[in-house]
Amino acid sequence: DIQMTQSPSSLSASVGDRVTITCRASQNIDTYLNWYQQRPGKVPKLLIYTASSLQSGVPSRFSGGGSGTHFSLTISGLQPEDFATYYCQQSYNTPPTFGGGTKVEIK
Amino acid sequence: EVQLVESGGDFVQPGGSLTLSCAASGFTFLNYEMNWVRQAPGKGLEWVSYIDETGTAIAYADSVKGRFTISRDVAKKLVYLQMSDLRAEDTAIYYCARRYIRTPRNFDYWGQGTLVTVSS
């Protein structure tokens, strides 16, 4: 199975900050990488697919990048509704595996 | 409107069985494989199982292989997860999620989830 490792596991930031979360795959997954946001008590929501494509309806302050084994999710100008846990997930092969999550908290 | 509605979650004793259902609507069911993803209390997301659009290709996480069975009723647009020999570590919210059969193969819609609690 492909292991997905996210860092950091948590971070504190202020409204308006630029935040970057990284995700590393244990093997080459090309750009088969997706990002999800999960607010407390809510259902996971797809933000970014194939590493850098923005899902419909997702604000443009979210962006993704990377390929191969190293990926990133950047939030440019953190908003109050962005405080949540973010997960990366590879769709290169089965089983689809998730990273452990990065919790973005209010400083 | 795309909807995935799970049901069947309950409190069950270790060794017990339970069947979860997911009712799909608002999209062409045969264009999507269906998945179950779970989340233990306070933990991350763990993929559990998938079934392809025709019901012929199926896969399970190692943690549930041999104990869980996924199936789908195309006519009724339902997906099932039969769970047996349940363990405390199976306690989680179980989400039904769809994934398009071609690229990009992401989980673009999720149900609200159904809670399974395994405890004596």
| Chain B contact for A91 (CB, 8 A cutoff) | yes
Contact B41, B108 (CB under 8 A): no
d(CA A16, CA A38): 20
User: What is the pLDDT of chain A when averaged over all its residues?
Assistant: 97
Min Cα separation A76/chain B (Å):
23
Kindly list the residues from chain B whose CB atom is less than 8 angstroms away from the CB atom of residue A98.
44-47
The type of residue at A45 is: K
Which of A50, A94, A98 comes nearest B45 by C-beta? A98
B45-73, pLDDT tens digit by residue? 999 999 999 899 999 999 999 999 999 99
A6-56, pLDDT tens digit by residue? 999 999 999 999 999 999 999 999 999 999 999 999 999 999 999 999 999
Kindly list the residues from chain B whose CB atom is less than 8 angstroms away from the CB atom of residue A89.
45, 106-107
B56 class by beta-carbon count within 10 Å (0-12 exposed, 13-18 middle, 19+ buried): exposed
Kindly list the residues from chain B whose CB atom is less than 8 angstroms away from the CB atom of residue A94.
50, 59
The type of residue at B6 is: E
pLDDT at B102: 86
Sequential pLDDT tens for chain B (120 residues): 999 999 999 999 999 999 999 999 999 999 999 999 999 999 999 999 999 998 999 999 999 999 999 999 999 999 999 999 999 999 999 999 999 988 788 999 999 999 999 999
Min Cα separation B120/chain A (Å):
26
Please answer yes or no on whether B110 and A96 come within 8 Å at the CB atom.
Answer: no
pLDDT at B109: 97
Please answer yes or no on whether A43 and B95 come within 8 Å at the CB atom.
Answer: yes
Question: What number of other Cβ atoms are within 10 A of residue A80's Cβ?
Answer: 7
d(CA B35, CA B48): 7
The type of residue at B71 is: S
